[in-house]
Structure 1
Amino acid sequence: MNRKFVYLVANTLSRGRSRSRSAYTVHLIDPSTFFQSRSAGDGTATMDDFRLPTAAMTFCKPGPGSESEDDPMTDNMDFMPLGKGSQSGILALDGKGRVSHYDAACQSFSLMPALHAPKMQPISLPVGDSVYVMDVNPRPGNRHCFEALIHGSGPKSCYPTDWYWHSLAAPPHARAHNYVPYDSDFSEEENDQDFNDIRMVHGPEVDVHMMAAAPVIDGHTVVGDSQIWISTIGAGTYSFDTASGVWSQAMDWSLPFRGRAEYVPELNLWFGFSSQDKCLCGFDLTATASAMSPPLLRHQWDGIAQQEGWAPVISYIVPLGSGKLFIAEFFETKEKVYIKGGGWVYGNCDNFAVFTGVEFLEKLGGGLHMVKHRSKRYNHERVMPDWVI
């Protein structure tokens, strides 16, 4: 296991002298506590409670506080890894385009160059030491909807090497119009699951009403050392070559997973959650890249944590090395209160997550065996889930 800790960023409140202010607290989870010796057997029978460790860092929102309603988008923040496996820490992006860097391993905090333009619920993809950040609904008129944070000799840098943002071409799907819009005729229950599907793809603070009617990047991943793949609903899959800076339409079908798929080099597979049934799956994208054929589903594992009545909200996969993964799945349950005379409304709602350590072992003769180690349930008060990086 290469990862010493996993970052969890929680949306919370910090207490000031005069009033409470919305903030984000960073907690370091020791992933080794989710694994046990193989002789201890499978850990599926029990589920312990999980309590967040003491916050290692706090980021305050850029706005005047949670009471501000002038521009709610500038009051949000997003978090993403810097380097593969967050080996260089995490980045915090606020709604005004400002960027800061926190590295728990070095116990350091630093300011980074600001984005050319703020990003709205961005997706991020680490490639080498760089990170590529894109608006979740890129528009052709926005010259800065896709940027890369690069360490090198920038065009305006005063130093031989430094961090700088480089704007890149918008993806071709920004000019496509064959998308599936939000259906206002859906029932409330159908919309709730539709909204959770959008959060699964775009992150915990996505504005689901705005996003449901916008072009959607449904899945994304890194293939090889230089190819970024994004998948769109109704417009196929596109690839971006980070070496040449050129987009191309790789396929006319969509990738079969939601959100970001993570590559596990020990197994030569990409792991993600199925766009069909949200099960954890292992895909072979190597053959896809060479044959331009749909990805091969090599393995599927049903219900890592989900139980009846648990509605999935968003899930994260964190590769730990040595064929081990840290799985974070956020759920909600809603109580139906039936009204006298007919009909019902939603009552109490529980929001929680289940963290699980899983290990993959190669079988004799081929195939993979998944060992589910320990699972822990984390109850959080806020409706919006947290980031797990």
Structure 2
Amino acid sequence: MSRRFVNLMVDRIISHRAASTLHLINPWRCFYPTTTQASAAANNKTIITEDAHLPRAAISFYEPCSQDVLCDIRFMSLGRSSNDIISMDHEGNTFLYDAAARAVRVLPMPHAPKLSPVSLTVGDGLYLLNGDPGQQEDHPFEALIHCGPSANPIDDRSDEKWYWRSLPPPPCAFDYEDDNERYRRRGYEIGAYTVVGDSQIWISTEGGGTFSRADYGARLLRCSAYSVIGAGGGDRKTQLVASVSCVGWAAGVLKIRWGPAHPGPPVASPLTFSFNTTSGVWSKAGEWALPFSGRVEYAPEHGLWFGFSSQGKHFAACDLGAVSATRPPVLLKMWDELAPPLPKRWVMVSSYLLPLDGGKFCIPRIFDMAGEGWCREKNGNDFMRVDGFAVFTGVEVERGSRGALRMIKHMSRRYSFGCRMARVV
């Protein structure tokens, strides 16, 4: 079952206090009643992009600090079928917003606050991994586990509870000691993720290797994609996977896969590590990385994974079920749901993907509006921001008579929120 709404969070100042307001966007308003109508509109080149009114805020979350102190709140979804939201501040204070009840519940604090975490829902757990994982004692990887209330009709007391479970960080996040000096990985940034089936998590990066004392600087690590692929049942294993490859030099030293035996920089090689959520053990899955950036979603109607390509952020499809240690994933198809070229003053900030029923997807993209006279070719990313808005687009993916994938665009709706920051949860 898909969500009724898409959660759009907008940063604001309310009564001189920093806050984030939640706006519930109905994704089904981006679709024609039938696929035939959508196809006819596409063939006649009458694709609709209409300006829509931003709904009133359902709730406001005030940041715990004053405007001159940096203390952001992180928001995480409890899954693709739920509009409930988990919020966590810089100290780890955690709350649950129950969308149906329009109520807020205090939850236990994690073992340690999470800094720019990625979050994935697997079964009854919300898994959070720091964007820059550290040592085990720093608790960079934790799961918020939910135990539902008792089914005993005689006992009217609720024994529903939530608790945090600390998990081991990926191997590439460990600190290493050499000559009584400590060297740790820096610049490790997770960039894409997905849940597949009910059980496995994959995380891909663009960096890797093991630090040691040498005459070279350390490579920076950058995560580009992560995903969950799964054990729907039986005795199939549950694994979380992270891919790594080296992408730059920094102060420090490294020791990774080397090329021919001669002095010079090491040869970068993507790696994928696997975490088994049942045994809690990391292992190497393959020398490849997922070709995605951002959240990757599974569509059971097609048996494929959908997300945004690591190059160009195109809407794309891939068959992760065909992947093995020696067979890396490849994109099957890429599309542009917003007909290029985009208006010159539109500057894309971020992209999100929400799977709906029947092979339909809602694609929200956040844009800045640059000032008059801005030219990307001349000014690059240096521009004056005069407005901000989100474009929600409804698309449908179907297979043709020969099995080829085809994207059908429905409608796009634009929601303006002024010169503010926004994100989809």
Alignment map for 1:66-81 (pairs within 5 Å): 66=67, 68-69=68-69, 72=70, 75-81=71-77
Structure 1 residue ranges without an equivalent (≥5): 154-158, 183-197, 203-212
How far does the alpha carbon of each residue in 1:177-207 deviate from its partner, in whole angstroms, 9 at most, with x for none?
Answer: 998969xxxxxxxxxxxxxxx89769xxxxx
Aligned length, in residue pairs: 343
Structure 1 residues 120 and 305: alpha-carbon distance in aligned structure 2, compared to 1, 3 A threshold: farther
Q: Deviations over 1:118-175 (max 9, x none)?
A: 111110011012110010010126431000011249xxxxx96521000000111214
The normalised TM-score by structure 1 is 0.79
- The answer for the alignment partner of 1:27 in structure 2 is 23
Deviations 1:197-224 (CA, angstroms, capped at 9, x unpaired) = x89769xxxxxxxxxx964322112111
Residue 352 of structure 1 corresponds to 389
Counterpart amino acid of residue 228 in structure 1: L
Matches within 5 A, 1:71-220: 72=70, 75-82=71-78, 84-87=79-82, 89-140=84-135, 142-152=137-147, 162-175=161-174, 215-220=221-226
The 5 A counterparts of 1:245-256 are 245-256=280-291
The amino acid across from 2:229 in the alignment is V
Alpha-carbon separation, structure 2, partners of 1:330 and 1:113: 32
Partner of 1:296: 330
Structure 1 residue 240: deviation in Å? 1.5
Q: Report the counterpart of residue 60 of structure 2 in structure 1.
A: 58
Per-residue deviation at 1:335? 4.8
Gap change, CA 1:165 and 1:345, over 3 Å in 2 = closer
Is 1:238 the counterpart of 2:273? The answer is yes
Amino acid at match of 2:415: Y
- In structure 2, the partner of 1:313 is 349
Partner of 2:415: helix, strand, or coil? strand
Q: Flag the 1:372–1:167 CA change in 2: closer, same or farther, 3 A.
A: same
Q: CA deviation at 1:295?
A: 0.7
Task: Give the structure with higher Rg (CA).
Answer: 2
Corresponding position of 2:312: 277
Report the equivalent of 2:414. 377
Query: Distance in 2 between the 1:140 and 1:266 partners?
Result: 40
Task: Tell me, yes or no, if the aligned pair for 1:336 and 1:347 is still in contact at 8 Å.
Answer: no
Q: Distance in 1 between matches of 2:353 and 2:380?
A: 36
Percent identical across equivalent pairs?
Answer: 39
Name the CA shift for 1:366/1:131 in 2 (closer, same or farther; >3 Å).
same
Matched residue, 1:227: 239
- Say whether the 8 Å CA contact 2:167–2:280 is kept in structure 1: yes
Distance 1:180 1:116, change over 3 A: closer
Q: Structure 1 354/77 Cα, relative in aligned 2: closer, same or farther at 3 Å? A: same
Q: Is the 8 A contact 2:132 2:190 kept in 1?
A: no
Distance in 1 separating the partners of 2:379 and 2:392: 36
- Deviation of the 1:343 alpha carbon: 9.1
Q: Is the 8 A contact 1:134 1:147 kept in 2?
A: yes
Distance 1:308 1:53, change over 3 A: closer
Comparing 345-354 and 316-325, the one that deviates more: 345-354
Number of the residue aligned with 1:210: none
8 Å CA contact 2:190, 2:224 repeated in 1:
no
How far off is 1:382 after superposition?
Answer: 3.7
Contact 1:334 1:346 in 2 (8 A): no
Residue 243 of structure 1 and its aligned partner are, at CA, apart by 1.3
Question: Match of 1:32, SS?
Answer: helix
Say which SS state the counterpart of residue 111 (structure 1) adopts.
Answer: strand
> Which 10-residue stretch deviates more, 329-338 or 250-259?
329-338
Partner of 1:194: none
Q: Quickly say closer, same or farther: Cα 1:311–1:52, change in 2 above 3 A.
A: same
**Aligned CA-pair RMSD:** 3.1
Q: What's the TM-score once normalised by structure 2's chain length?
A: 0.73
The structure 1 segments of at least 4 consecutive aligned residues displaced by more than 6 Å after TM superposition are 176-182, 342-345
Please state whether the residue corresponding to 1:278 is helix, strand or coil. Answer: coil
The structural deviation recorded for 1:344 is 9.8
Of 277, 291, 294, 1:259 maps to 294
- Provide the rounded CA distance (Å) in 2 between the counterparts of 1:276 and 1:374: 25
Report the Cα distance in structure 2 between the residues aligned to 1:136 and 1:117, rounded to whole angstroms: 14
Helix, strand or coil at the partner of 2:173: helix
